Structure 1
Amino acid sequence: MRLPIYQVDAFTDRVFAGNPAAVVPLESWLPDPQLQAIAAENNLAETAFFIRNGEGYELRWFTPAVEVDLCGHATLATAFVIATILEPGRGRMDFATRQAGTLTVTRDGDRYTLDFPNRPPQPAETPDPTLLAALGGPAPVAILSGRDYLVVYESADAVRALAPDMALLSKLDKWAVCVTAPGDASGEGGVDFVSRLFAPAQGIPEDPVTGSTHCMLTPYWAERLGKTVLTARQVSARGGELLCELAGDRVKIGGQAVLYLEGSILV
C-alpha cells in the first residue's frame, strides 16, 4: 500500500526551525499497531493521521512510542497540508479527536489559529521528589501540575541553561515536564514568556515547540501578567513562536508553518 506523507515545520516561517511533524492522509483507519509502527519509523516528535468525515476530519497523533491525547504542532501541520495542498484556499478545518473533543483551525493568510481546550494548572502539593534532581539548575519559584508538571523559574536564562537528566525525567509520574519563565531582553525580548518541554518517557527527550502545553501555559501567564493575549517562544534548539489568547474555556494558539518534504511511504 502506498500512502502520501508530508513533513511540515510548524510554529515557524522557515524550514529547519519550529517543530517538524509528519502528516499522513488516510482513506480509512489502519490498525493501531500499524499507525504506531509508521510513527516509530518516522522518528519525529509526532506523526498525525487523518481521514475525511463529511465536511470535517478525524485526527489522531502518535509519538514514536505512544498515541497522545492532544498535539498542537501536528494539528497545525495537518491544517497546513489541507489548506495549501489538498484543498487549497480552505479557511476552516474541524477535527474530531478521540480525547480532546472537536478542534477547529482557521487560516488567515499565512497564520493558522488553533482553538484548543483551556487546561489551567493547579499547585502541585506533592510533586515527585525526583523532579528537581532531574531538572538540575536553580530552585524554581513555583511547581504546578496538570497533564504535565509546570515548573516556573525566575528568568529565561535559567530555562535556557537547564540540562536535565533524561533518565530521571523518564521515571516521573507525569506525561512530561514543562519549564517556563518570563521573557527578557537577553535574547527573548518582545515575548511575554518562554518555555521548554521534556517528555523522554514518550519518546521525546525535548520537544522543539509544543502547542498542547500552551493550553496550560496560557492561563497561567494570563493570570500572572494580567493580559489575555500573549506572545510566547519555546527556547529549544530549533525554537518556535506562538501567539496565545485566553478565551474563556478555550485557548487560541496561532502560528505559521512551512512544507519541508512531500513523498510517499510503502506499508
Structure 2
Amino acid sequence: MKYYIIDAFTDRLFAGNPAAVCLLQEPLADEVMASIAREMNLSETAFVLWENDAWRLRWFTPTVEVPLCGHGTLATARALREAGIVTDDEVYFRSLSGDLAARYQEDWIELDFPSLPPTPAPVPAGVLDALKLDSAPRWTGVNAHRYWLLDLGSAAAVRVLAPDRAATMAIDLPGIVVTGAGDAPYDFTSRFFAPADGIFEDPVTGSAHAALAPYWSSVLGKTDFVAYQASSRGGILKVRLAGDRVLIAGETVVVATGDLRIP
C-alpha cells in the first residue's frame, strides 16, 4: 500500500503539520487503520479509498479516530495529485463530517469545510489552571465539535502561553483553541491542544479554523483572513468565511513516500 508523509500548511520541509496519507486499494478493518496510525506516530494518519463512486476519507490519531482533520485533508489532496490519481482542479471527499471539497490553486490547496461557530460558554473546571493563564480570557465559548475557544486578547499572549502538560492531558476535551488578535501581516494567531485525542499541542489545525473564522468575523467585521498558528513548527493559513462554509487554504511539501506492507 502506497503512503506519503506530507507537511501541511507550509512551503518548507519540517514545518507546518505532518500527516501520513495511506492510499487504500481496498477497505481495511478499523483496528488495522488504528495500528497503522500508531506505527506512523504522527498527530493524524489519513486513509483514503475510492468506493461507490466517491473518495472515502477517515483520520486516526495514534489513539482515536477523529471526525474532522484539516491538515490530513490537505495532505490527502496533495498525495492524490502527487500520485497522478487526481488531475482535475477539485476533489471531493465523504467523511464523518459530511462532504468536503479540496481545490487546487497553483501552489495552494483550498479546503471547503462546514462552519462550526462557537457560542459563549464558561470553560470547564481545570482548563484555566492547566493553561497557566496570567489573566482571564477576553471571551470563551464552545462549538458543536466540543472545541473550546479562548480569546486571550493578543498574539503575544498566545505565543508565551506555557501550559502544564500533565494537567492539560488530564482534561477530557477534544479541542482547546487559544487565540488572539494577530501581529501584521496576520489577522489572528492561535494554538490548539487536543488532550482527549492524545495530542498535547497540534502544530497546525485546519479544523480549528472552522471555529476561528466565524468568531473572528464577528470581532473584526470581515470574512477574509490570513492566520498564523504559533506552534514550534508554525503554519500559515488563508481563511475565508462564506456563509455556512469556511474555506481554508494552505501549501504542502512532500517529505517522504513508500510502501506499507499489510498482511
| Shorter-chain TM-score tier | over 0.9
Structure 2 regions of 5+ residues with no counterpart?
none
Residue correspondences, number: 259
Normalising by structure 1, we get a TM-score of 0.94
Distance 2:87 2:239 in 1: 24
Q: 2:117 aligns with which of 114, 120, 123?
A: 120
Q: In 1, are the aligned partners of 2:19 and 2:43 still within 8 Å (CA)?
A: yes
* Structure 1 ranges of 4+ moved more than 3 A: none
Deviations 1:167-189 (A, max 9, x none): 222233421211000012xxxx2
Paired residue secondary structure (1:154): strand
Structure 1 regions of 5+ residues with no counterpart?
none
1:156-235 matches, cutoff 5 A: 156-184=155-183, 189-235=184-230
Distance 1:237 1:55 in 2: 40
Distance 1:81 1:129 in 2: 41
CA-based RMSD: 1.2
Distance 2:43 2:50 in 1: 24
1:1-267 matches, cutoff 5 A: 3-53=1-51, 55-87=53-85, 89-97=87-95, 99-125=96-122, 127-139=123-135, 140-146=137-143, 147-184=146-183, 189-267=184-262
Deviations 1:147-196 (A, max 9, x none): 21111112111111111112222233421211000012xxxx20000000
Distance 1:46 1:222 in 2: 28
Deviations 1:183-217 (A, max 9, x none): 12xxxx20000000011331211100000010000
> 53-62 vs 250-259, which deviates more?
53-62
> 252-261 vs 54-63, which deviates more?
54-63
Cα distance, 1:137 vs structure 2:
2.5
What percent identity do the matched residue pairs reach? 47
Normalising by structure 2, we get a TM-score of 0.95
Q: In 2, are the aligned partners of 1:128 and 1:173 still within 8 Å (CA)?
A: no
Letter in 2 for 1:96: R
Paired residue secondary structure (1:153): strand
